[in-house]
Amino acid sequence: MEYYEHIVKNRNSCRQFTDTKVSDDVLNELLTYYEDEESVLIDGIATELRFYVGTVWDELKKCVGYNGKCIKAPAYMVIFSEVTDHYRENAGYIAQGLTLKMTELGLAACWLTINDAYGVKAALGEETDMVAACVVAFGYRDPSDTAKKADKKSLDEMTDGFRYGEDIDTDLFYRDLEDGLRAIAHAQSFANKQPYRIIVDHDQISLIGLPDDETNENDRRLNYGIVMFNFYAVMDAVRSNPPKWSFDPVTDRDLGLPADVTYVAKCKL
Ligand SMILES: Cc1cc2nc3c(=O)[nH]c(=O)nc-3n(C[C@H](O)[C@H](O)[C@H](O)COP(=O)(O)O)c2cc1C
């Protein structure tokens, strides 16, 4: 409850930052979280976390940010990843953990769409073999930022019961599942499109991707990683053995999926 209310629900994207520098102590805290505490979605995918403080905006703006706009911030975080199955979902999951850690540390953040992943490496002077999988601008929110919070899908709109499109009987929710599902409904997504849905069953939930012409492949998969982390993190706060997501197919039941939607992953409860 507390983690959902204070961290997940409390955060919102920031597009206006103060000039205050993010200190080395704070960057080290984020790095320590990434190295020592954070859970990953898939074991064994090599990733690297890098921070860029100061003057990278002029170069970065050529290759990140939707609507031709790269948010100006005192710092940027990039997750570089090995390219393998589900590396983008894994990077999104890791970066979301860091974004929520930033909320805990009093920082504000905004994800940025990558328009040219090779350009990001060139802009940042990186020669790694890994690919730039996600970019997040961060720093301290300018108190004069009065942007209204984005409206999110309700739990009813986000969840189905047993099969796609079927109403959910809310009495079937496990008591501790509700905040996890709300954390999914509250997650960041490209342009707040939220092109996904959850099918809830007694023993598992399934993440389903909805068609959306505007969200590109990279952001679509980052979106999935973000919602998977949000669910995991809220469940981790209330259970000693939090459920883990799996990309294995669902073979033991019919989710009733129409042709234009995609099964993404499942999480055994
Ligand atoms: C993968 C991804 C890419 C995004 N790209 C941008 C971007 O380029 N520019 C921007 O201003 N916001 C971007 N956002 C932020 C979303 O617009 C924001 O999360 C959404 O509107 C919901 O608002 P909230 O984060 O305040 O809940 C992105 C978010 C995600 C998850």
Q: Give residue 134's pLDDT band: very low, low, confident or very high (50, 70, 90).
A: very high
- Cβ–Cβ under 8 Å, residues 147 and 156: no
Residue 257 has pLDDT above 90, yes or no: yes
Higher pLDDT, 39 or 119: 119
Contacts with 90 (C-beta within 8 Å, 6 or more apart), sequence order: 40, 41, 42, 45, 47, 81, 225
Which pLDDT score, from 0 to 100, does residue 98 have? Answer: 97
Give the DSSP H/E element, type plus range, for residue 92. Answer: helix 87-104
Task: Determine how β-strand 159-161 pairs with β-strand 196-200.
Answer: parallel
Average pLDDT, the chain: 94
The mean per-residue pLDDT over the stretch 176-200 comes to: 95
Assigned superfamily of 155-268: putative nitroreductase (tm1586), domain 2 (3.40.109.30)
pLDDT tens figures, 13-65: 999 999 999 999 999 999 999 999 988 999 999 999 999 998 899 999 999 99
Determine if ligand 1 sits within 6 Å of the CB of residue 192: yes
CB of 99 shorter than 6 A to ligand 1: no
Ligand 1 proximity of 12 Cβ (cutoff 6 Å): yes
Give, as one character, the DSSP assignment of residue 114. Answer: B
What pairing do the DSSP bridges indicate for beta strands 75-81 and 131-139? antiparallel
Distance 251 CA to ligand 1 centre (A): 34
Instruction: Quote the pLDDT of residue 1.
Output: 59
How many angstroms is it from 240 CA to the middle of ligand 1? Answer: 31
Contact 255, 165 (CB under 8 A): no
Whether residue 172 has pLDDT greater than 80:
no
Ligand 1 atom at minimal distance to the Cα of residue 191:
17
* Residue 188, ligand 1, Cβ within 6 A: yes
Task: Give the separation between CA 238 and CA 179, rounded to whole angstroms.
Answer: 10
Q: Where are the domains of the chain?
A: 2-139, 155-268
Is the minimum distance from the CB of 164 to ligand 1 under 6 angstroms? no
115 lines ligand 1 (CB under 6 A): no
What is the CA(15)–ligand 1 centre distance, in A?
A: 10
Residue to probe by mutation, ligand 1, list 94, 103, 112, most atoms within 8 Å of CB = 112
The Cα angle at residue 144 between residues 140 and 148, in degrees rounded to 5: 95
* Tokens at 67, concatenated: 């609507």
Distance CA 138, CA 93 (A): 17
Task: Decide whether 2-139 matches 155-268 in CATH topology.
Answer: yes
- Read off the pLDDT of residues 212-243 as tens digits, 9 standing for 90 and up: 999 999 999 999 999 999 999 999 988 888 89
Does the CB atom of residue 71 touch ligand 1 within 6 A? yes
Mutate-to-test residue for ligand 1 from 8, 9, 10, 13, highest number of ligand atoms within 8 A of CB: 13
Token pair recorded at residue 202: 């007694």
Is residue 66 in contact with ligand 1, taking CB distance under 6 Å? yes
Which of 66, 184, 188 to probe ligand 1 with, by most ligand atoms within 8 A of CB? 188
Residues 30-42 pLDDT 10s = 999 999 998 899 9
* DSSP 8-state code for residue 146: -
Least confident of 115-119, 168-172, 265-269: 168-172
CATH 3.40.109.10 fits 2-139, yes or no: yes
